[in-house]
Structure 1
Amino acid sequence: MPYVLLALAIVSEVIATLSLRASEGMSKFGPGVIVVVGYIVSFALMAKALTSLNVGPVYAIWSALGTIGAFAGGVLLFNEPIRPLTVVGAVIIVLGVIVMNLGGGVSPGGPPPPDNTH
């Protein structure tokens, strides 16, 4: 379940970020509302996922996939250019996430359960 929450947090964050671009400096009401709601939902879902997953690798996955999602969305929705160096950067981001997960992964590692022995 925490992985589903993480995936939904990433999707929500990408939608919010693309809406930020569409809001034209938050001057358009509809996209502006999507920005605010999208980021609130994204952070709430991320917070819930982090109750049972390790923060470092999860945040790396969230930010990397969010970055790549925003890049792809910018290309598809706003005709932003694809440059070779940008693609290299995206590959480096993905490789960094892979390395972080090899070093500790997203295994359960949230806070310990409360001590109810008193």
Structure 2
Amino acid sequence: MAIQNADPVISKVLVEKGQQHETRKNLFEEIEKELKRPVVSFFTSFSAPVGIEDSDAQMLEGILQKMDLTAGLALFIDSPGGNALAAERIINICRSYSEIREYWAIVPGKAKSAATLICFGASKI
């Protein structure tokens, strides 16, 4: 009942949260159109003892190298945190690959510890 009265985008996210790849892909494409910039999602597990680490920065860099970031990017981040130096590296990577030298952070759930640092490095949260 509460979903019907919520913002349409939030309602759609809540309904599609458990859906498969194709549904999420379509939702991210709609968000990219709305924001007028590409969206990259970065999620780490809250249940497994895995946090943000240097290999995540390398993985993200590999993804951003292949993208058109003339309009910047929006980083969906949901993580319990991890290594602060890896977070700093992710901030620098997001800024350096964005042609306008900025990125936005979008937190659909939680961004704790090092994930908070990544959000603080964004030009908009």
TM-score by length of 2: 0.32
Bigger relative contact order, structure 1 or 2 (CA pairs below 8 A, ≥6 apart): 1
Structure ID, larger Rg: 1
TM-score by length of 1: 0.34
